[in-house]
Amino acid sequence: MGGGLKDTLLLSLRRDRAILALSAIMFAVVMAIMTAKGIALNFASLLGNGQVMASSVLMVVVIDLLGSLAVAKPEWPIAFLRQRYFSPATIRFVISGLPVMVVLLAFLPFYSKMKSMIPLLNEYDWDPVFIMWDRWLLGQDAWRLMQPVLGYPIVTSAISACYQVWILLLYFGCLLMCYHPAAAPVRQRFFLVYLASWGVIGAGLATVFASVGPCFLEPLTGNAAFSDQMEYLRAANQQFPIFSLKVQDLLLAWFSRDERGLGSGITAMPSMHVAIAFLYVLACWNISRRLRLAMLAFALVILIGSVHLAYHYLVDGLVSIAVVAVLWWLSGIIVRKRPA
C-alpha cells in the first residue's frame, strides 16, 4: 500500500476510533454469549450480508455515474469517468470510509445471532404488559383505533410496501451517511447511535423485555387477542399484496427451525424499525429541510405501519423513539469531547 493510502487509512482509523471501539465491545459481548451457549458463528450470514452490501454499492455507483454524466455532459465520457472513479483522490476517499464499512459488513449478522438467542436468555412473557400499556394509553388496542382510517386493503398494501423499503436505510442509507459530503457533520454521531441502537434497543432491551408482538402472539403463546387483526391482514392480502405477511411467515418458520441466519429472530419491544427511521430524522434534521420532512414522514409511516401490520404494539415504537433521542444526546457529548 502506498504511503498516501496508508496515511489515509491510519487517519480514518483515528477519526473513527470511537465507532470502532464501540463495535469491538459489542462484538466481544455477542461472541462471549455465543460461546457460553455453545453457538458457532455461521459465515454464510456474513456472505449474505456482503452480497446485499455489494448490491447497494453498485446502486450508489450507477446513480452517481448517471447523475455525473447528465450534469457534466463531458466530451470524452470514458476519460471523465476514469478521472472520477480511479483518480488518487477518489481512491483515498473510498479508503477513508473502509473501517466503518467493514464494521457494517459484519455487524448485522452478529446482531441477527443475538436476536435469535433471546429465547435462550429470557422467556417471551412481556406481551400482556405491553397490551395493557397500549390500552391504558388509548383506551383500546392501537390497531383498532387506526382501523377506521387505515383499514382498506389498498392502504394496507401501500403501508406494507413502505415498511419493506425500510431495509434500504441499513444499506443504501448507511453508504450515503458514510460517504456523502452533506452527511459529514453528523457522520460520527450517526454511526455511534446506529451501533448503540442495535445493541441497547435491538439486543439489550429486547432481551430484558422479551415479547413477540401481535402477529406472533397466537402461534407462539396461544393468546388470540389479535386474531381479528391477522384475519383482516390475510383478507386484505387476497385483494392487494401485503408483503409483511410473507416476512412474518418466514420469521416464524426460521424460529420453529431454530435458525440464526441474517434477519432471523423475533422481538417486539422495542421496535428497531422505528428506532432506525427516527435516527435518520435526527441525522438529517440540519442537512436540508426537504430531506428532514421526507425522513419525518417516512418515520411516521414506519411507526404507524409497525402497529397496523401487527409487528408491534404502539409502546414499542414510543420507547424506541425515547431511547434513540437519549443516545443521540449522549453521542453529541462524546463527539464534542473527542472531535474527529
Cis peptide before 270 (omega within 30 of 0): yes
Percent of the chain at pLDDT exceeding 90: 56
> Which amino acid, one-letter code, is at 269?
M
314 CB-contact burial (10 Å; exposed 0-12 / middle 13-18 / buried 19+)? buried
> Which amino acid, one-letter code, is at 336?
R
Helix axis angle, 272-284 relative to 314-337, nearest 10°? 40
Residues with Cβ within 8 Å of 175's Cβ and at least 6 positions away in sequence, in order, are: 56, 57, 60, 101
| Residue 153 · residue 240 · CB < 8 Å | yes
pLDDT in tens, the chain (340 residues): 456 778 888 888 888 899 999 989 988 888 888 788 777 666 677 787 788 888 888 888 888 888 888 888 888 888 888 888 888 888 898 999 999 998 988 887 777 777 777 887 889 999 999 999 999 999 999 999 999 999 999 999 999 999 999 999 999 999 999 999 999 999 999 999 999 999 899 889 999 999 999 999 999 999 999 999 999 999 999 999 999 999 999 988 888 876 655 556 788 999 999 999 999 999 999 898 899 999 999 999 999 999 999 999 999 999 999 999 999 999 999 888 765 5
By residue range, what is the domain housing residue 199?
Answer: 3-337
| Residue 323 · residue 275 · CB < 8 Å | yes
Q: Which three cell numbers stand for residue 142?
A: 392501537
Handedness of CA 181, 182, 184, 185 (dihedral sign): positive
Q: In the 8-state DSSP scheme, what is residue 199?
A: I
Query: What is the DSSP track for 212-235?
Result: --HHHHHHHH---TTHHHHHHHHH
Say which residue the cell 422495542 belongs to: 270
Handedness of CA 89, 91, 93, 99 (dihedral sign): negative
CA proximity to 103, closest of 171, 23, 197: 23
CA proximity to 277, closest of 157, 193, 192: 193
Between CA 82 and CA 75 the distance in angstroms is: 13
SS3 330: helix
CA proximity to 126, closest of 197, 206, 199, 203: 206
Note the pLDDT tens digit of each residue in 30-49: 888 878 877 766 667 778 77
Residues with Cβ within 8 Å of 254's Cβ and at least 6 positions away in sequence, in order, are: 116, 261, 264, 265
Handedness of CA 41, 42, 46, 52 (dihedral sign): negative
Q: Which three cell numbers stand for residue 188?
A: 460520527
Cα 52–chain centre separation: 14
Dihedral angle over CA of 209, 214, 216, 221, nearest 10: 70
Q: How many domains does the chain have?
A: 1
Q: What is the pTM of this model?
A: 0.91
Note the pLDDT tens digit of each residue in 211-240: 999 999 999 999 999 999 999 999 999 999
Residues with Cβ within 8 Å of 155's Cβ and at least 6 positions away in sequence, in order, are: none
